[in-house]
Structure 1
Amino acid sequence: MLKENLSLSQLFAIIIGFNLGTTLVVVLGITAKEDAWITVLLSTFTGLIIASFFLNLNELAPSKNLFEIIEFGFNRFFAIPITLVYSLYFFYLAARTIRDFGELTSAFILPLTPIEIIIIALMFIIGYILYLGIEILGRTTEIFTPYSALFLFLLIILLFASQNISITKIQPVLARGILPVIEAMFPIEVSRPYGEMIVMTCIFPHISNLKMRKKSVLFSVAFSGILLTIATLIITASLGITTASRATFPLLSTTRLISIGNFLERIDALAVFIIMLGIVIKSSIFIYSGLKGLEYIFNYQYRYFVIPIVCIIAMFSIFISMDINDHVREGAVVVPYLLYYPLQFAFPCFLLFVLLIKKVKNKGHSPSKDKPYKNP
C-alpha cells in the first residue's frame, strides 16, 4: 500500500478549515459577554500549547499515528480497546458536526427540504472524498480554503461599509476583570477546537517534511485563532452581545445585516460557503481518523469501511438529537465532561508520560559510546 503524503500548504489549509469548522456556527466565549473576543484570543495562546503537546506526542514516534503510538506505549492487547474508544469518539464528533450543518441548512437555506436529504447529500460528498484518500482531501482543502478566508474578510468590509459595526457594543472592556474571561475559556473554548486537534495525530504522519511540520502547525493554529477572534469581535460589535447570544447561527444573522444602497444585500451564500467548507473538512478528518482506527484493529485497509461507516454516521447524525436546542444543550453540558477531558487531555498526558519513561529507559540500556579503551 502506497503511503499518502500531504504537503505543508495542505496541512496549513486543513488545520485552518478544521479549526474554523463548526466553531463559526456559534458565538465563542459568550459567557464573557462583551469580552468574548478576548476569551477567543487567549484561547488561541492556549491552543498553541495544546498543539505543541500533540506534536511532541507524535514526535516520539514520528512515523506512527495515534493508534500505533498507543501500541508503542503499551501493547496491542491494551491498544485495541483504547483505539475502539477513540474511533467511536471521532465518529460521534463527526455526526455532531454534520448535524450542525443540517440544522443550519434546513433553518436558513432550504427550509422546505427535509434534514435527512441534506445530511445524506453531504455524506455522499464526504464519503467520496474519503474513498479517494487523504491526498484528495488535502488538495480540495488547499484550493478552497483561501476563498474561505477571503470571503470572511469581504464580509467584514461590507459590514463596515453598511455601518453595522459599533464599537460601543463591545464596551466596556474587562469591566468585570479578567476572571470571567478565564472562566469562559474552560472547558468549551479550549476544548473546541484546540483540544479536538488530537485527531491531527492521525494526520501528522502523512507530512514528509518533519523539520517544517511544527512551524506550519503552530502558524496555522495562530492564524485560525486570529480569524476566530476577528469573527467573534465583528459578530458582537454588529449584533450586540444580547442578540448574538440569542441567535441560533450568529454569523448568518450578522451577514443579513449587510445592506448597501438597498442593492447589495442577502449575501448569505458567503457565510454558508465558509461554514460548509469547514464542516466538510472537519467531519472528513474525524471520519478518516476513526477509519484509521478500524484499519488498525482489523488489519484491513480503511477504504473497506468507508461506505458502511458513512451510512451509519449519516443515520446517527439524524437521530442524535430531537431538535437544535437539544443538540446545543448536549454539546455544552454532556460532551465536555464525559468526552473532552478524558480523551483530549487526561489519557494523552498519561500516554506522553509512559512514552517519556520508555525513552529514558531505552537510553539507560543503550551501550555507552564513550567507554574508555582498555589495553588487553
Structure 2
Amino acid sequence: MQKISNYQLFVLTILFQIGTTIIFGFASAAGRDAWISMLISTLIGIFIISVYLVLMRLHPGLTLVEWYPKQFGKWLGTPIAWLYPLYQIYGGGRMLADLQDLVPTTILPRTPPIFFLTVLMLVIAYGVYLGIETFGRVGEFLLPFFLVLFCTEIILLISSGVVHAENLFPIAGEGLERVLKPIWPVGLTQTFGETVQFAMIWPLVEQQDKIVKTTLFATILTGTVLTLSNIFAISVFGEITFQRSTYPLYSLIREISLADFIENLDAIGVLYFVVTAFFKISLHLFCSIRAIQLLTNSKNSRQFILPVIISSLFMGLTMTDNVASHINGVHMKILAPYFTIPLWFVFPSMLLVVALIRQKLFNQNKG
C-alpha cells in the first residue's frame, strides 16, 4: 500500500479545498462583505473538520466507509457508506461541468468541451492508476507554483493601481443577515465539508500523529487565500460588478496592466484554476475507487478505474446546459439539502455521538 508524507497531505488538502471555489464567487451574495462570509465559513469549517479528525482518532487505521459499519452495524452502516463513493463520482462530474463552461469561455472558445475534458480524464485515470503517491509528488511541485502565482497576482494588482480599498466599506453596512446568507450551505459544503473525503486518505499518511496539525494548518491557509481573493476582487470591481460576475476571481487577473507590458494574463489565470480543479477531481475519484474496493472486499482497485472515470465524464458532459442552471439548479435545490448536508454533517455527527457512547461504555465495562 502506497504512503504519502505529511507535507504531501498538506499540499493535497489545500489544492482540494481550493478546487473550483476560487473560480466562482460563491460568497458574492454578500456583496462587499463576501470576504467576511468567507472568513466565517473558514472558522466554522475548522470546527467541522476537527469533528472529522476526532472520528479519525476514534477509528485508527480505518477509512470513512469503514467507520459506519463498525458503529452502525453491517445492515445500516454499509448502505450509508456506499453513498460516499457514489456522491464522490458525482462530485468529480460536477467539477468537470465547472471546467466545461470556464475553459471555452476563456482560452479555448473553438475547442469542443468533450475533447479537453476527455484528455483531462485520461490524465486523471493514469494518475489514479499510479496511486496516491503520484498525486502527492505532483502536488509538492505545483503548490509552491500556485502560491507564488497568487502572491505575484496581488503585487501586480496593487502596482496596476486598480485596487480601491474604499469599495470594502461600510463593513456589514446592510446587516449580518446578508453576511450569513452565503455561509449555509454553500460556504461550508463547497470547500470545507467535502474534506471528510480525506478520511479515505488519512490511513495512508506515514506520520499519523501529525495529521491533525497538518490538516488544520492547510485549512487555515486555504481560508486565507480565498478570503484575500474576495477582498481584492471587491476592491477592484466594487460591489455591483463583483456580484454580477460569473467568474469574479478569474476576471480579477484580466485587470492587471502594468506599463502596457504586463497584461493579458488570462491564460495564466485559467492555468492555475485548472490545476486546482484537476486535483479536486482526481481526489474525488481516487477516494471513490478506494471506497468501492473496500466495500466490495476486492484485492485490486484498478478494475474500478475505467467505470468510475467514464461515469464521471458522462455526468460532467450532460449535467447542465448553462452555467446558471449548473450553479443554482439541481445541486442547490435537491442535492445540497437532501444529500450533501446529511453526508457531510448529519451522519458524521451521529457517528461521533454513537462512537463516543460506545467508547464510554467500553471503558466502564473494562474498568
TM-score (structure 1 length as normaliser): 0.94
What residue in structure 2 maps to residue 373 of structure 1?
Answer: none
What residue in structure 2 maps to residue 242 of structure 1?
Answer: 240
What are the within-5 Å matches in structure 2 for residues 118-197 of structure 1?
A: 118-197=116-195
Q: Can you list the C-alpha shifts for 1:356-376, whole angstroms capped at 9, x where unaligned?
A: 12211211222x4xxxxxxxx
Shift of 1:243: 1.2
Q: Can you list the C-alpha shifts for 1:248-295, whole angstroms capped at 9, x where unaligned?
A: 211221111111122211112222122111111111111111112211
CA distance in 1, matches of 2:314, 2:332: 22
CA distance in 1, matches of 2:2, 2:101: 34
What are the within-5 Å matches in structure 2 for residues 1-376 of structure 1?
A: 3-300=1-298, 301-330=300-329, 331-366=331-366, 368=367
Residue 220 of structure 2 aligns to which amino acid in structure 1?
Answer: A
8 Å Cα contact 2:63-2:202 kept in structure 1? yes
CA distance in 2, matches of 1:242, 1:334: 29
What residue in structure 2 maps to residue 371 of structure 1?
Answer: none
Q: Size of the alignment, in residue pairs?
A: 365
Structure 2, unaligned stretches of length 5 or more? Answer: none
Shift of 1:168: 1.8
Residue 9 of structure 1 aligns to which amino acid in structure 2?
Answer: Y
CA distance in 2, matches of 1:333, 1:240: 29
CA distance in 2, matches of 1:172, 1:204: 43
CA distance in 2, matches of 1:306, 1:250: 35
Shift of 1:74: 2.2
Shift of 1:132: 0.4
8 Å Cα contact 2:23-2:249 kept in structure 1? yes
Shift of 1:180: 2.5
**Superposition CA RMSD, Å:** 1.4
Shift of 1:138: 0.9
Shift of 1:323: 1.6
Identity between Structure 1 and Structure 2 (%): 29
Which of the pair has more CA radius of gyration? 1
CA distance in 2, matches of 1:98, 1:270: 19
CA distance in 1, matches of 2:17, 2:234: 20
Q: Can you list the C-alpha shifts for 1:216-247, whole angstroms capped at 9, x where unaligned?
A: 11111001100110011111111222112222
Q: Can you list the C-alpha shifts for 1:308-359, whole angstroms capped at 9, x where unaligned?
A: 2101211111001112121111244333212221111011111111111221
CA distance in 1, matches of 2:64, 2:110: 42
Shift of 1:213: 1.3
Shift of 1:83: 2.2
Shift of 1:128: 0.7
Residue 328 of structure 2 aligns to which amino acid in structure 1?
Answer: R
Q: Can you list the C-alpha shifts for 1:28-72, whole angstroms capped at 9, x where unaligned?
A: 321221111011111111111011110001110120000111121
SS in 1 for 2:185: helix
Residue 314 of structure 1 aligns to which amino acid in structure 2?
Answer: L
Structure 1, unaligned stretches of length 5 or more? Answer: 369-376
Q: Can you list the C-alpha shifts for 1:69-128, whole angstroms capped at 9, x where unaligned?
A: 112112233333222211111111111011111211111110101111121111111111
8 Å Cα contact 1:256-1:265 kept in structure 2? yes
CA distance in 2, matches of 1:323, 1:302: 35
CA distance in 2, matches of 1:360, 1:12: 32
8 Å Cα contact 2:65-2:82 kept in structure 1? no
